[in-house]
Structure 1
Amino acid sequence: MELELSYPYYFLSICLVIGLAYSLGLYFRSKKKSKLPSKFIYLLFAFRFIIVSALCAVLLEPMFKTVDEYKERPIVVFAQDDSESILLSKDSSFYINAYKDSIEVLSNQIASKYEVDFLKFGSSVNSDKLISYTDKKTNLDQLLTEIKNRYYGRNLASIIISSDGLFNSGYHPLYKEYGLDNVSIHSISLGDSTVRKDLSIQKIRHNKDVVLGNSFPVEISLLSNNFQNNEFMLSISLNSEVIHQQNIQPKLEIESFKIPIVLEASKIGLSKYRVDIQRKKGEITYQNNSSIFYVNVVDETQQVLLLAKSPHPDVSALKSALSNKIGRSINVRLLSDFDGDFSNYDLVITHRLTSQITTSISNYFKTIRKANIPVLNITGSTMAVNYGDLNLGIQMNDLKGSYAVTALVDENFNNFIVPQQMIKQLENYPPLDVPFSSNYKTTFQGSTVLFQKINGVETTYPLLHFSQLENYKIGTLLGEGIWRWRMNELMKSEKSDIFDSFLSKIIQYLLSTEKKEKFTIDVSQEFIENEPVQFFSKLYNENYELVDNVDVKLELFNDTSKVLEKLFNSSSNGYFLNINQLFPGNYSYKVSTQMGDKSYLKKGDFVVKQMKLEYLKTKADIHFLNLLSSKYNGNLYSPYSTGKLADDLLKNQQVADLINYDIKFEDIIKRKLLFVLFIVLLSGEWLLRKLLGSY
């Protein structure tokens, strides 16, 4: 324990001088005090000197410093792949039984030198030791990122990844740096690295939406392993009726096919198509011999004008995202080429038109408003000082250049559903360049879905705001750079579904013409297996005030029977209900409620799609595991040689206990003993002077 001051140590001498001067002046300046016996004068002097000096010293904020030393043993993280693909091998019974015992033996063998932590990974990372091989996805990128974050600053020595080397989400681990340069990564190769007999559907490419009466293309990717010169049949069914068949004959040991097919959209609504390839004797699994896809058939085309001030990457990103929606026609025009005719459009998207407002631009916005055409205005990084004259729902004062902001989702926003996965993605997108202002004002009724987050600080400044004046809707996205959002998602997952879906929700909301109903239901039409199904509902009284004190009931049905019956939860924004872990298939629902003597009923349907990512590849990627271990100075082991892995870890002389120091500071004034000492000294001096008749 050491004593430390907030001021230089020579200040203590000043405290002693003050105590000495005060005590000398009190007890030796008057002759009256000299009539007291000398020994008592010196005793009283000592009391006062100690008290005053100590009180002055306390003002210097003295603290006791304690340093505790403790050792942290080297840590080994054992990461187990818990995905379905592990059992697609001839050794599946070994992985279910004996292999789990070998993990326990390995942990016990190295426990004398290491602290062993167990992690399980697949679609997520957790510490559950129950290995079931049931995960639908494998994300090695998420595993390594989680380890880096969880063990930052710890004595992490090694990581053991026990996997088949197959992953289907996240970044490629070989091309990303995780800050694990001083950590060795060893791999245990699971699964089967031989090419076994299998026919599989790898991918189906198709449009999500098609127009009634039109033809639409479907491309089916197939993979044949060890079925050369064996013909098999491919068939497509619509609502259980076969509408296409063709024979395919592989000529090579391993051969892939891309089969183009043209189908007809003959019925409005959500159509279920099933693709099957003939089952052959000897296949490793039949799980990948069939696949289902859904197509939404619509009966109208929405005309959207994308009017841009100049060429920009945002314009390209917007066009690519919006063009994915069938039933919607996108016309991109530059301001310099536009003739000013808005009569054929259902929606107008403007890009950077408000950075410099001319008379013609002002007239364009007046025409749009007069025609009651909804508009999405993307401002760009600069804003004209007379922007408020356009009355587009937001006014900004004190404009000073631009700055970078990220998105913050308002989870109370309820004009349309923003699922949790979408919220997470939106808040992790790169920043946009936004016009700087500290004074925002909305000019008429509206709601904000995205706020600005500046350098990690949450604000109430709008980033994406919707305004509404009667039936006229305006969306305002402050800034530019949304092309980075779409590119970021493409880099991470090789697709931009979340960005495209969010933009589609914005467009659909702006296009919707509201005849305000007293009872509404909002639920998506398509979900992925294991994704929660979210329902949102609103109920209004005769004055169109939100009601939240009656029961709203859901009845859910699959193709054959009622699945569940459940009441919604109420909130200040309406009603909501989350349903987890529905099996893949088609579902229909009835949502009902009663308010007074009036009953309300809503019906609809949605689909839960099966996830078969783990069945697309059946051959373990041992080469990848070897490359990963080599990159991080580790080795590759078979699941039958965990004993050698234990020996190598125990023989490693480059790891040692990490000595950590825990430094604590405690204010001396918090010590009770000091308080007691002051009381004793002050009481002793007062009592002695009282007894001697000094008072």
Structure 2
Amino acid sequence: MSSITLLYIILAVIFALFLAGFQYFKNKKSMSKLNMLFLLLRFITYLSVLILLINPKFEQLIITNEKPNLVLAIDNSNSVKHLKQDQNVLKLVNRLTENADLNKKFNITSYTFGDDLQASDSLTFSERETNINEAFNKLGQIYKNTIAPTILISDGNQTYGNDYAFVTNAYKQPVFSVILGDTISHTDLKIQQLNVNKYAYLKNKFPIETILVYNGNSAVNTRFVVKQGGNIVYSETVNFSKENNSKVLNFTLPANSVGVKVYTAVLEPLQNEMNTINNVKNFAVEVINEKTKVAIVSDFIHPDLGALKKSIETNEQRSVSFLNSKTILNQFNDFQLVILYQPNVNFKPVFEVLNAENKNRFTIIGTKTDLNFLNNVVDAYKTEITKQTESYQGISNKNYASFLIEDIDFESFPPLQSNYGSTTFSVPVETLLYKSINNVRINEPLLASFESNGKREALLFGENIWQWRAHTFLNTKSFIQFDDFIGKLVQYLASNKLRTRLNLDYQSFYNGNSNIVVKAEFFDKNYVFDSRETINIKIKNNLSGEEKTIPFVLKNNNYQVDLSTLKPAEYSFTVSTTKEKISKSGNFTILDYNVEQQFLNADVTKLQRLATNSQGESFFIENTQNLESKLLNDNRFSIVQKSTKNSLPLIDWVYLLIIIILSLTTEWFLRKYNGLI
């Protein structure tokens, strides 16, 4: 309590005594006991009121001891078991978590990671992917402002993600790497990489590139073969030595029939080879009998044209050609879809042919579009002409029913330049994206589609869509989300199939280590998404005959089922709705491939580099005896003593009010009892 506050309290006592005395002692030669009691009660009242106004406080100092965190980041991937280190990991984790001295100094928390970080003490070593970089990114968010030395228990074999050896740029904690494995070099042959397109075209040959690697000292020769079923479709003899330890093979295979073709690439193992799993790699190619050709028609150059071509051609089933309003006239029959980019009066013959042949089209309207011409040649819609421009962002319509779309955060995309004004439609239209200004949706379509007289058409009211593709890459480090969105739009426009109430989204084949998710979308009779339906998938293993039925789970604006637990095989399936009795069937193949079993040694170099860069230390799993003492004796991880000052009132105001009420009430009753009122 400060000296000035103490002075105020003394003055309050004097002043309260003076006021009470002035009221009860004035003009009286002597005081009765009753008056003395009244004076005391009044003094208490005045003093309580003054103390309440002064509100004296004192400071309370609280001292606490805060222990640093000790983070155990444990590799739970299948490669740990493949390298026969799972039991060593369990013993080390138990030893660390049960160490009394470590628990006294640290708050010990265990995490496991594979493709994602999990706060868990249970170790199964069953994860099919490893992303060490992502684990450190999440740990960095959790322990951003604390002391948290980290013990990384891993073989260091990362199957995807950014290089974790330099993760210390973001993760500012010392990392102690426990290396699961050794540095012994074993003789090994390996199919390092096999590159092949997902799709091939009937009666064509598809190229294959294979990278083969040899780890050993002596010269060896073996054979590389590719099998389809029990038949060898390609073979080649390869020779390796210590100096010439890699080969790149390029060859082609014929696509003779339509469907998913599964192949097995085998690099025949050596007699003393320890790991033969990485000598075999399965791959598949879907053979199709047609290719979708798309024409982009424009009379001037714009970045949007290149962005559309890149997005459409990410699917090998599609090709794009650039034409102008004159060169397209004699080539209409070569294309399944025509994209009209900002048409002007020169496009009149183009529209005449399109209308005569009732062809599907995708029209992009921008600031250079001749709206007068467009309003004259098109009957389905009319656009208001204001000769003003505006920037619009997009907001996705979750009730869009023509095909399944995913919201890729359109609201965050840069705005498109468009003409200011409304558009009226004379045909039923479905909106994919609504226009918005400053995140406020207006009831105008930015991207819409409609069907009329047996043809399909889409309209985009804006230019600079190339910025959307670039923004997708900035957000996700990939163009995939945007390219998939454009791909689905092109697939819808290039297809003349009738719209159905049950739509499925799946691939023809999956790698055994990937997540296998089948998506479905169900609509009511008005083609509005229906979230009330119960959908099941009945799956049959075509090899074993085993069948199982799994329900779909409603997630966002579609139904999903995770089939990642299925074993590699060929499967047929039927998706059916419970209430409406609508069903669809299909087939897919799961390839036998486990990326976690391709490793023979730990990645010692990266784990040691990570420890060095983070000012930690690395240990092999067999030599971790000094790990505990290093942590206990490191002065960087001392217990931190923190002091907290709290300012507390000397007397709580509630108690002062109670005292005031009691003193006044007592005085009133005494005066009433004695007939003084």
TMscore range, shorter length: 0.7 to 0.9
3-state SS of paired residue (2:626):
helix
**Pairwise mapping of residues 160-309 of structure 1 onto structure 2 (< 5 A)?**
160-176=151-167, 178-181=169-172, 183-226=173-216, 229-252=219-242, 255-306=245-296
Whether 1:75 and 2:66 are equivalent positions in the alignment is: no
Contact 1:408 1:453 survives alignment (8 Å)? no
Q: Which residue pairs with 1:676 in the alignment?
A: 658
Q: Give the superposition deviation at 1:189.
A: 2.2
TM-score (norm 1): 0.75
Whether 1:508 and 2:498 are equivalent positions in the alignment is: no
Aligned mates of 1:441, 1:666 — CA distance in 2: 64
Aligned mates of 1:501, 1:57 — CA distance in 2: 70
3-state SS of paired residue (2:584):
strand
3-state SS of paired residue (1:433):
coil
Q: Which residue pairs with 1:482 in the alignment?
A: 468
Q: Give the superposition deviation at 1:102.
A: 3.4
Aligned mates of 1:236, 1:259 — CA distance in 2: 12
Q: Give the superposition deviation at 1:255.
A: 1.6
Q: Which residue pairs with 1:6 in the alignment?
A: none
3-state SS of paired residue (2:185):
coil
Change (3 A) 1:346 1:286: same
Q: Give the superposition deviation at 1:409.
A: 7.3
Q: Give the superposition deviation at 1:267.
A: 1.7
Q: Which residue pairs with 2:500 in the alignment?
A: 517
Q: Which moved more, 1:79-88 or 1:444-453?
A: 444-453
Contact 1:185 1:633 survives alignment (8 Å)? yes
Aligned mates of 2:573, 2:346 — CA distance in 1: 50
Whether 1:583 and 2:535 are equivalent positions in the alignment is: no
Q: CA RMSD, aligned part only?
A: 5.3
Change (3 A) 1:572 1:291: closer
3-state SS of paired residue (1:654):
helix
Q: Give the superposition deviation at 1:617.
A: 4.2
3-state SS of paired residue (1:506):
helix
Aligned mates of 1:54, 1:641 — CA distance in 2: 69
Q: Give the superposition deviation at 1:625.
A: 2.0
Q: Give the superposition deviation at 1:296.
A: 2.1
Q: Give the superposition deviation at 1:145.
A: 0.7
Structure 1 residue ranges without an equivalent (≥5):
4-8
Aligned mates of 1:686, 1:398 — CA distance in 2: 85
Q: Which moved more, 1:304-313 or 1:458-467?
A: 458-467
Aligned mates of 2:458, 2:112 — CA distance in 1: 48
Contact 2:344 2:374 survives alignment (8 Å)? no
Q: Give the superposition deviation at 1:71.
A: 2.1
Change (3 A) 1:78 1:540: closer
Pick from 517, 530, 533: which aligns with 1:533?
Answer: 517
Partner AA of 1:205 in structure 2? N
Change (3 A) 1:235 1:75: same
3-state SS of paired residue (1:646):
helix
3-state SS of paired residue (2:589):
strand
Contact 1:410 1:450 survives alignment (8 Å)? yes
Contact 1:121 1:143 survives alignment (8 Å)? yes
Whether 1:347 and 2:337 are equivalent positions in the alignment is: yes
Whether 1:148 and 2:131 are equivalent positions in the alignment is: no
Change (3 A) 1:278 1:332: same
Among the aligned pairs, what percent are the same residue? 20
Q: Give the superposition deviation at 1:284.
A: 2.2
Contact 2:553 2:560 survives alignment (8 Å)? yes
Contact 2:345 2:370 survives alignment (8 Å)? no
Partner AA of 2:120 in structure 1? D
Change (3 A) 1:66 1:601: same
Aligned mates of 1:655, 1:72 — CA distance in 2: 11
**Pairwise mapping of residues 395-414 of structure 1 onto structure 2 (< 5 A)?**
none
Partner AA of 1:474 in structure 2? L
Whether 1:137 and 2:122 are equivalent positions in the alignment is: no
Change (3 A) 1:556 1:678: farther
Q: Which residue pairs with 2:102 in the alignment?
A: 110
Count of paired positions? 647
Aligned mates of 1:240, 1:530 — CA distance in 2: 26
3-state SS of paired residue (2:146):
coil
Change (3 A) 1:87 1:576: closer
TM-score (norm 2): 0.76
Structure 2 residue ranges without an equivalent (≥5):
none
Change (3 A) 1:678 1:338: farther
Contact 2:168 2:614 survives alignment (8 Å)? no
Q: Which residue pairs with 1:84 in the alignment?
A: 78
Aligned mates of 2:321, 2:155 — CA distance in 1: 48
Deviation sequence 1:420-471 (CA, Å, 0-9, x none): xxx7xx45x996421599x9988664344799898xxx87689996423334
Q: Which residue pairs with 1:324 in the alignment?
A: 314
Contact 1:558 1:588 survives alignment (8 Å)? yes
Whether 1:472 and 2:457 are equivalent positions in the alignment is: yes
**Pairwise mapping of residues 365-514 of structure 1 onto structure 2 (< 5 A)?**
373-375=360-362, 377=364, 416-417=403-404, 426=408, 432-435=413-416, 445-448=429-432, 466-470=447-451, 471-474=456-459, 480-485=466-471, 487-488=473-474, 497-514=480-497
Aligned mates of 2:160, 2:632 — CA distance in 1: 34
Partner AA of 2:450 in structure 1? L
Which of the pair has more CA radius of gyration?
Answer: 2
3-state SS of paired residue (2:177):
strand
